Every structure is written in structure tokens, then in C-alpha cells.
Amino acid sequence: MENTNIIELKHVTRSFEDGFNAVTDFNLEVKRGEFVTFLGPSGCGKTTTLRMIAGFDLPTSGEILLNGRSITDLPPYRRPINTVFQRYALFPHMNIYDNIAYGLKQKKTPKDLIEKKVKKVLSLVDLEGFERRNVSTLSGGQQQRIAIARALVNEPEILLLDEPLGALDLKMRQEMQYELKDMHDKLGITFIYVTHDQEEALTMSDKIVVMNEGRVQQIGTPEDIYNEPINAFVADFIGESNIFNGIMTGKCKVRFGGGEFDCVDDVAEGTHITAVVRPEDIEITAPEKGIVQGTVTNVIFKGIHYEITVTAGKNEYEIQSTKNAAVGNRVGLFVEPDGIHIMIAEDHTNVFYADINKDFRLEYNGHKIETSVTKIITGSRRLEDGSLVDAQGDVIDLNRTRIRVEIQPEDIEMTDEQDTGLVQGNISNLIYQGDHYSYVIQTDLEQDFVVYDEDLWNMGDRVSLIMPLDKMKFIYNRKK
Amino acid sequence: MKFSRKTLGIPYSVFLILFVVLPLVVLFFYAFTNGQGQFTFANLTGFFTDPNAIGTLIYSFAIAAVTTIVCLLLAYPTAYLLAMSSLKSKSVIVMIFVMPMWINFSLRITAMKEILTFLEGNLSMYPFLNSVIGMTYDFLPFMILPIYTTISRLDGALREAAMDLGADERSTFLTVTLPLSVPGIISGVSMVFLPAMTNYVVLDMMNNSTYIMGSLIGSYFAAYNWHAGSMIALILLGLICLFTLLSGSGEEDNQRGGALL
């Protein structure tokens, strides 16, 4: 059988001397002629992976195969792969002709053939007659085209593009997206494209590789990745989404975000899940017709749709709708079963957000948590005028800053004495898990807590949750 | 009272007129006059017909040229390796090259003299060689720094682009790194060559009794022949202007390298 994979990465890992893993166990197969995009936030390892394919960086372990043969240790100049660099990297001491001809000259191509090829590739990028121009006289967009021409003239088997549109303005970027896609279709060369822009990735790619913290999160077509994100990270990174922690309450029934919804995924009752709902899949209805009731708290007109925020208890829903809604209105929210994407949660860490009060103590549900804010926000200190500044010296706005608190299910203790715990609620679900029961407590703040306990409690029991201070993990995220 | 730009510029203009314009005018006056204050080209023709003066010019040129070439040959690989290395202590190593500059110049040359005397026995046996060694020692940092700054400011992506396009390490160096480090080389050359042409202190201390341009001017002034001395100074000035014009593009790096000192 013919092997149509042009390039394969097998268990590729790149670690640095200080123990940091830029890329961990990266596996990928790319078919000839595909347009593959590495997508992820900055620092996710996508550029490092691209550099390993180009040969600028070598994997610590693993293999890279080109047409079935290992190129793992080949220097860049021996690989039939060319790169379009992030800031173009055109040679400033050469004119356009010499820049484009550079690769051909290295291969000792006859002069008349070089001339023909340069002319042809310049017309491909729509810059005929630019041969004698100087690099510095070109605009960003033109330099970009020259960089592409310089790579393409060598007729590489694979073209690597490292955030090539990052330095261009929005309009130019969109134009170039179509042109690149067009070039790809015309030339039939395999493109591997790196970007952090999810829209760019969705527009151009045949296949998207979503990466985070050096690991592949999901590989799939743009439709797959958008419609069936494999975890909360992918859902959050690709497009807008509402992400909730919840629990399966019956056959194709799930509870999250303050309501019980029908869904299409048949997951065992009692399973903890993460539910993802796209903003365009939420319908605003009359309060009594919705599954969840809430109040419109914010409306932004975005041109083709309105972006509406609805607050229901402690939960916030982002909704995109072509119909306007007035701030302050009481509305119902409805989601069709196929608009809910269920992912089984591997991790049952309870997460809640605590406010900071005037005495610089954390507060949740009206109860104080006896810890100091300056200890949680590293490097922060209180000034004499009573304000709090962080390590950079910026003032922290206490009204707008919340501290993320994490606590494991086995660390929470349930009690009948209502006043002793941090928060109160009713047991809404219980399931026996071998050596302990797993309870879901729906609190008065519409937040679900998962608690493991060895004793049996009854459904509907009202309990108070005691959270030992030393078991709580406090996380402060600096907001822009 | 409010100072305008003009009033604030007064001290500067006074300084300029007193110490730059006026001396130049005096220099021109003496260069083109004789002892009686009459206008003459005799000093100019005198210089070019005096075999002694022409010989000094050629000797100065030779000593400066050799010093510059030796400096360049030593400095380029050093600067290149330093700029390319991934050492964390790079700046410390650069500092080691610059540090001799903090020691008094005549002290350094005296030390070098002692070493050479120890090696050669009698310094006057190799006057040309010793002068070149002394000057190279003195001027090397001025060559290393601008080249180092230029190479380390080169965008690494350019070298990667060359390799990506099929150039091996050698042709990447020849077609990309070397041509792009030319501005650094030019400013290094102008920072070494011009001072080397007139620096007679090193020659003096190295027991090299041959005159170079600097000492020639000095000897004329010592003999109260201000007119011939001024003319030679003027000719040197012309030469310096010429070189500066030729190396105009290196000016920027020149200042950057200088700022490091």
C-alpha cells in the first residue's frame, strides 16, 4: 500500500536544559497536499514544533519522517522544506531578485532558468517588475509576498509558515488569508501553518492541531474542532463558549448552570461532566418557556449580531442573537439538546471565586476566609493609603478582583450544623464509588460542590460544607 | 526670565567658535602664509617635494594599515565567536576585552614594553614589529566592539533563512553574516586606522625613532616652523575627512561601540 503521509512526527519531545518541556510527545501525520494549522496560545510549543520540522531545532527524543524516511537529524539545508518567517527575514543587503534567487543559486541552477523562475513566482504573488527594488522600499504586505515567493521558488515539498500574517493589519490579513488558501489549492504543496488566531485557522485549514502547554489537545477538521471540542481548553480557545461544570442526572439529562437540560450524549447518571454551549446555540425565550431564568445584564451590538450577557443566579451566559434584548429584562434561556456538548470531567476539583473585603480578607457567601491577600498575590503589598499594589506596582482594584479557590472533593467535610460551614446546600445527587460516596451539593448560590464522604447521607439533606483552610488552594490571575 | 533656544545656545556657540572655528582659521592662516605673513603655496609644495615628509607619510600609512589589518584579523573571529556563542557570561567576556582600557595608556604600553624586552632582548632590533604590536594591543578593543555589536544585532532569522534556502554554514557566513557585518568592520577600521596614523606615543615608547605624521608635526612646531607644521596638520585633516566620508555608513555603529567603552 502506498504511503501518502508526506510527513510524520512520532513521539517528538523537545525539552530544555532547565527541565522545561516545550513540546511533549507530539504525534502527527500529514497527508500530501494538506493545509495543516498548529493553533494555540503563545508559548504552547507550536513554533518549536515548526522549527523542528524545518531543522532549526532538534527533538530531544522522537522521530520526524519525511516520505517515510527519518530526517530527524538533517540540517535545514538538506531538507526539501522551506519556511516563511514571522518577520519575513528578507536579506536587507540584496534586492528582490537576489532574495528570491538565493535558494536557486545555492543549488547552482543555470542563470536563465533562475530568471524564468523568479519572473514566474513574482507573477504568482502579484509583484511583477519588482526585481530591482530594495527590500526597505516595500510595504509589510509586499515583503510578506516576497518572503512567500522566496520560499515557493524552490518548489519545496512542504511550506512552513510561522505566523506569517501576524504583522499585517486586519484588512491586509484577511486578503492574504484568501490568497494563501488560493495558492495552496493551485500549487498542491503541503502547507504547515502556525497561528494563535483561531479565525485564521478555521478559515484556511484542512486540519487543525490545537496545542496547549506543549501537548496536542485535539487534531481534526475545523468543523470537528468547533463542533466537538474534546476538552474545555479547546472549547474555550476555539470561538466563544459557555463552559459549565455539571452532572448527569438521568438518561440524556444533564444539570449545569442552574438548570436541567436534555442532551444527546448518553453518559451514565452521576458522572461529573463539563458542558460546553456555544453562544449562538442559546435561545432567549419568555421566562416561563426557558429552562433557566435570568436577567439581561449587558448587551453589545456587534454588527451582525448582539452579544447578550444573561446572569442566572451565580452563572453567566454569553449569548449571540440577531434579536435585541433590553438590559434588566427577565428572560428564559433554552438550548436544543444537540447544542450541548458533554465532556466527561477527569478532574472533580471544586472551584469557586472569593471576593476581597475592605480588611483585605477573602470573603465567600458572607463568611470570612482567614488568610491574607498579600500572601496569595505574590509580591503584593499594602500601601500607607490603604490601597493594595502588586509586584509591578499596579494598584489592584479590590471591587473587581476575585480570587479563584480550588478544593478537592475529599477535603470538604459535611455537617448538619448549618452555621459552622462556609456554604450551605442540599444534596442533589449521590453515587457509591467503591469505598466512598460521591455527593453533589447544590448550594444556595447555584453552585455545585462535589464532596466525597464515607458516610451515607440522604438525597435532599441540608448540609453545611466545612473547608479546612490548609486544603484550599488560592489562585490569583492578573487581569489585563 | 525665560531662556529661549537661542540664549541657551550661546555657551555652546562660544565654545565652538573658540575651540573649533578659531583654531581652524589659525591653522589655515599659518598653512598658507610664510614667515612674513604673505600668502603662499610654498608650504604645500614643500611637503610634497620633501622626500623626508613623503617618506614619513608612507611609513605612517604602512604602520596604520598593518595595525588595522592585524586588529581586524584578530577582532573579527573573536567578535563573531562571542556574538554567536550562547554563553550566559558573554557580556563578562566582552568586558575582559574592554577592561585594559581602564588602565592608564602609558602604563599598559610600558608593561607591553617590558614583556617585549624580555622576549627580544633589545627593543630597537624590531622597531616596526614592536610598534605594530603596541598599537594592536592599544586599539584592539576599538575593533572588537563595533563588530561585536553589529553581529549580535543581526537578526538570527536571516541566518536561518539562508540555511532554510539551502546554504550550508560556510555559504551562510559568506553570503549573509559577512556582508551584513560590513558596517561594523568599517567603523572598526576607522576607529583604528585614523588614530594609528598619528599616534607617535607608542612609537616613542617602543624605541622606534622613525617619524610618523604626528611626530613630524610636533618636530616642526618644536622648531617654531608653525607654517610647515600647520600645513601637515591640514593635509592630515583632509585625509581624515576623506576616510570619514568613505566610511560614512559606519558612523552609527561607531557611536554605539563607543558608548560601550
Sequence-distant (≥ 6) Cβ neighbours of residue A283 within 8 angstroms: A321, A333, A334, A335, A336
**Cβ separation A89–B160 shorter than 8 A:** yes
CA–chain centroid gap for A458, Å, is: 40
- Whole-number pLDDT of residue A380: 77
Nearest to A77 among B167, B179, B180 (CB): B167
Please, which residues 72-101 of chain B have a Cβ atom closer than 8 Å to chain A? none
**Cβ separation A76–B175 shorter than 8 A:** no
- CA-based nearest residue to B228, from B209, B239, B213: B213
Each residue's pLDDT tens digit, B178-213: 999 998 998 899 889 888 887 878 888 887 777 778
- Whole-number pLDDT of residue A3: 56
Chain B residues with CB inside 8 Å of A154's CB?
A: 165-166
The secondary structure element, H or E, covering residue A179 is helix A170-187
Q: Does B171 touch chain A (CB under 8 A)?
A: yes
Nearest to B164 among A76, A86, A87 (CB): A76
Contact A249, A257 (CB under 8 A): no
- Whole-number pLDDT of residue B257: 43
**Cβ separation A102–B175 shorter than 8 A:** yes
- Whole-number pLDDT of residue B80: 93
Contact A307, A279 (CB under 8 A): yes
Q: What angle do CA A110, A112, A117 make, to 5 degrees?
A: 95
Q: Does B165 touch chain A (CB under 8 A)?
A: yes
Contact A117, A106 (CB under 8 A): no
Asked whether this complex has an ipTM greater than 0.90, the answer is no
**Cβ separation B171–A106 shorter than 8 A:** yes
- Whole-number pLDDT of residue A310: 92
Contact A437, A410 (CB under 8 A): no
Contact A180, A103 (CB under 8 A): no
SS3 assignment, position A273 = strand
Q: Does B166 touch chain A (CB under 8 A)?
A: yes
Each residue's pLDDT tens digit, B29-74: 998 988 887 888 888 888 888 888 888 888 888 999 999 999 999 9
Cα gap B167→A197, rounded to integer Å = 32
| pLDDT for B87 beyond 80 | no
Chain B residues with CB inside 8 Å of A58's CB?
A: none
**Cβ separation B161–A107 shorter than 8 A:** no
| pLDDT for B75 beyond 90 | yes
Query: Which of residues B121 and A202 earns the better pLDDT score?
Result: A202
Chain A residues with CB inside 8 Å of B176's CB?
A: 91
Chain A residues with CB inside 8 Å of B162's CB?
A: 91, 102
Chain A residues with CB inside 8 Å of B160's CB?
A: 54, 56, 76, 83, 85, 89
Q: Which domains, and CATH codes, for chain A?
A: 5-227 (3.40.50.300), 245-344 (2.40.50.140), 350-475 (2.40.50.140)
Chain B residues with CB inside 8 Å of A84's CB?
A: none
HSE-CB at A181 with a 13 A cutoff on CA atoms is 14
User: Could you give phi then psi for residue A475, rounded to 5 degrees?
Assistant: -130, 130
Q: What angle do CA A66, A72, A75 make, to 5 degrees?
A: 100
Shortest CA gap B76–chain A (Å): 20
Nearest to B164 among A83, A86, A93 (CB): A83
- CA-based nearest residue to A216, from A21, A51, A20, A39: A39
Q: Which domains, and CATH codes, for chain B?
A: 57-210 (1.10.3720.10)
Q: Does B180 touch chain A (CB under 8 A)?
A: yes
Assign 3-state DSSP to chain A and report helix, strand, coil percentages, each to 5.
25, 40, 40
DSSP state of B176: I
**Cβ separation B165–A54 shorter than 8 A:** no
Chain A residues with CB inside 8 Å of B166's CB?
A: 77, 103, 106-107, 154
Give, for all 480 residues of chain A, the pLDDT tens digit: 445 889 999 999 999 888 788 999 999 999 999 999 999 988 889 999 999 999 999 999 999 999 989 999 899 999 999 999 988 899 999 999 999 999 999 999 999 999 999 999 999 888 988 989 999 899 888 999 999 999 999 999 999 999 988 878 888 888 889 989 999 998 889 999 999 988 899 989 999 999 988 999 999 999 999 888 888 788 878 878 888 878 888 888 898 888 889 988 888 887 878 888 999 999 999 988 889 999 999 899 988 899 999 988 778 888 999 888 889 999 999 999 988 988 887 667 788 888 888 777 888 888 888 887 777 777 777 777 777 777 777 777 777 677 888 888 889 999 888 888 888 998 887 777 767 888 888 888 777 888 888 888 888 889 999 998 888 888 776 543
The secondary structure element, H or E, covering residue A143 is helix A140-152
Shortest CA gap B89–chain A (Å): 17
Each residue's pLDDT tens digit, B234-250: 888 888 788 778 766 44
CA distances to A12, A199, B123, B203, B214 from B63, rounded to whole Å, are 58, 65, 17, 10, 13
